[in-house]
Structure 1
């Protein structure tokens, strides 16, 4: 099995944002990083956070934690470890954090703007704390908030019972990134009960049979989280990912399609991600 890479490239060029187009050039063509950073910068607000539907599921102009995560994903993938946007964003994250370092999932600025049903403002610290801490660790950041957030993450993991859904995904991202490999390797096993026989994790409250795939839970071959998945499970999931390329050259996503803008932008993101994952596993 193989993918049609030229069709995937045409899909990105036909429908994706300028940001994903420049990221694809870096990934496949040794393109320059500077255009990626120039395309990312307009999504940043004066407070240092990111908004303006950089995260397609919450489409407000104001800064949101999920948009910060999207920005950090971009900066991580192009290895822009010294870009000033990182420190500015870390300062913004610290400003919205609870005293213990936990981060709300959706801020009130989402109200009155198009957003997915699950993007409901709340004040409780949630699973994006794991994900944001993971990205800053991968970028080599040293920041006072990261120390608090890391303690928050460990406390949550040590006390966790019956982990499920995106809590599993984001906690595993933290364990794959935190520079404490022995403790991380031991903690990974706490999430084994959430993983079904086929390697997926169910998502309650989503669309019918919504679930998270093994490669979304453990995208990098050498990560601690890979201990949860056998070689056959990963190979099967790579076959699944290859086989999900559509006739238009792109990939689709497996959760609620709630608006035309979200669909177009998210498909560009997931298509780029599919190419990256397959390439990292030697399938491209």
Structure 2
């Protein structure tokens, strides 16, 4: 069986309904409304998303990171649901700081199983996830008062200095790739090129087996704004590593420890769909 065939079997056997619907949309020409329908089960009455949509915390309450994941799934599926996204933006407005920033999580996660890296640092509003959410909403064409505030906050925060940690820099690149002011966004390309090797949690070496943010996270497709940051050799090295990392069961392994077996399988499904997307984009 091919890489694709074994990955498809893994998703069908182990993946959540959401990843199964997303896979079918991306690779089998299924209607993207299936992805929207699957996301509805994660949206709370307050408009936010929870219920372990991002599998590393098993908390039903609405969290900023789960809103980001919901929007990313809509973008990936090439669809939108205006009422769903508007309700999420309303929730963000209700929990954001006065300037518009939101946090990844809140203390409510302490009552539920979660991965060890989920600590109180996730309760602090920051670029992660505010910049990613704002960028994805711009990509979806959203217009909302919260997005206006968040956009200005992201600009002012980036002007004060680029993030020193790779995840925060990554979400900043999502914002910069999709924010409407293109000239202003493009002015950050060269500073980020110079800054990227200095940030923590960035994994430039394709042979490094540890967890880290790689060039393919910044440039998952050749058309990405950030593809120009990396040489062909860097991209090819990480693509080769991505191919090698597929496991015998068809899925991709994780380089961190989720809170349980269910979360592990769920996240492996997420990573498997992402791996297939990236490999297809570059082939």
Q: TM-score, with normalisation over the residues of structure 1? A: 0.90
Does the aligned pair in 1 maintain the 2:163–2:169 contact within 8 Å? no
Match of 2:270 in 1: 269
| 3-state SS of 1:98 partner | coil
- The CA deviation at 1:161 is 5.0
Cα offsets for 1:94-153 (capped at 9, x unmatched) = 111101011112122212111122323455312211111111011111111111111111
1:22-171 aligned within 5 A:
22-121=21-120, 123-126=123-126, 127-161=128-162, 163-171=164-172
- The CA deviation at 1:50 is 0.7
Does the aligned pair in 2 maintain the 1:19–1:36 contact within 8 Å? yes
| 3-state SS of 1:246 partner | coil
Q: Structure 1: 5+ residue runs without aligned partners?
A: none
Does the aligned pair in 2 maintain the 1:172–1:218 contact within 8 Å? no
Q: 1:123–1:251: structure 2 CA closer, same or farther, 3 Å change rule?
A: closer
User: Greater shift after overlay, 82-91 or 208-217?
Assistant: 208-217
User: Greater shift after overlay, 183-192 or 23-32?
Assistant: 183-192
- The CA deviation at 1:193 is 4.0
Cα separation, 1, equivalents of 2:93 and 2:118:
21
Cα separation, 1, equivalents of 2:180 and 2:253:
34
Cα separation, 1, equivalents of 2:54 and 2:254:
14
Q: Structure 2: 5+ residue runs without aligned partners?
A: none
Does the aligned pair in 1 maintain the 2:48–2:87 contact within 8 Å? yes
- The CA deviation at 1:38 is 1.6
Cα separation, 2, equivalents of 1:136 and 1:38:
19
Does the aligned pair in 2 maintain the 1:172–1:217 contact within 8 Å? yes
- The CA deviation at 1:239 is 1.6
Cα separation, 2, equivalents of 1:160 and 1:57:
29
- The CA deviation at 1:276 is 1.0
Match of 2:202 in 1: 201
- The CA deviation at 1:270 is 0.4
Q: TM-score, with normalisation over the residues of structure 2? A: 0.90
How many residue pairs were aligned? 276
1:6-17 aligned within 5 A:
6-17=5-16
1:168-247 aligned within 5 A:
168-196=169-197, 201-202=202-203, 209-247=210-248
Q: 1:38–1:161: structure 2 CA closer, same or farther, 3 Å change rule?
A: closer
Q: 1:257–1:193: structure 2 CA closer, same or farther, 3 Å change rule?
A: farther
Does the aligned pair in 1 maintain the 2:106–2:123 contact within 8 Å? yes
Q: Which runs of 4+ in 1 moved over 4 A?
A: none
Does the aligned pair in 2 maintain the 1:56–1:266 contact within 8 Å? yes
Does the aligned pair in 1 maintain the 2:48–2:91 contact within 8 Å? yes
Does the aligned pair in 2 maintain the 1:172–1:188 contact within 8 Å? no
Cα separation, 2, equivalents of 1:64 and 1:3:
38
Let me know the Cα RMSD of the aligned residues.
2.2
